[in-house]
């Protein structure tokens, strides 16, 4: 159960990072690097999310429930 909560939290953090990057893209006119920082944070969160999903399948906490695989 904790794995699903962490995945949902990561998805919400990715959305926050996405909209903060959009805000920085629209509002920043100088040479500030906040947009690049938001992008790198979003990429890091996405990698962490993919690793957690892979761990969930590897550990057996997530299973495929499709009828054509059984």
In the predicted model, is pLDDT for residue 9 greater than 90? yes
Rounded-to-integer distance, Cα 37 and Cα 24, Å: 10
pTM, rounded to two decimals: 0.83
In the predicted model, is pLDDT for residue 12 greater than 80? yes
What are the φ and ψ backbone dihedral angles of 31, each rounded to 5 degrees?
-95, 30
Determine the number of helices (DSSP H) and then strands (DSSP E) in the chain: 2, 0
Joined together, the tokens standing for residue 59 give 């550990």
Of the two residues 60 and 47, the one the predictor is more confident about is 47
In a domain, 66, yes or no: no
In a domain, 29, yes or no: yes
In the predicted model, is pLDDT for residue 48 greater than 90? yes
In a domain, 18, yes or no: yes
Of the two residues 17 and 70, the one the predictor is more confident about is 17
- Domain total of the chain: 1
Q: Which domain holds residue 20?
A: 2-59
């Amino acid at each position: 159960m904790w794995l699903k909560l962490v995945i949902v939290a990561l998805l919400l953090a990715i959305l926050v990072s996405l909209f903060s990057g959009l805000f920085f893209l629209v509002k920043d006119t100088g040479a500030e690097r906040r947009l690049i920082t938001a992008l790198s944070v979003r990429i890091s969160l996405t990698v962490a999310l993919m690793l957690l999903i892979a761990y969930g399948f590897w550990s057996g906490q997530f299973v495929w429930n499709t009828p054509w695989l059984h």
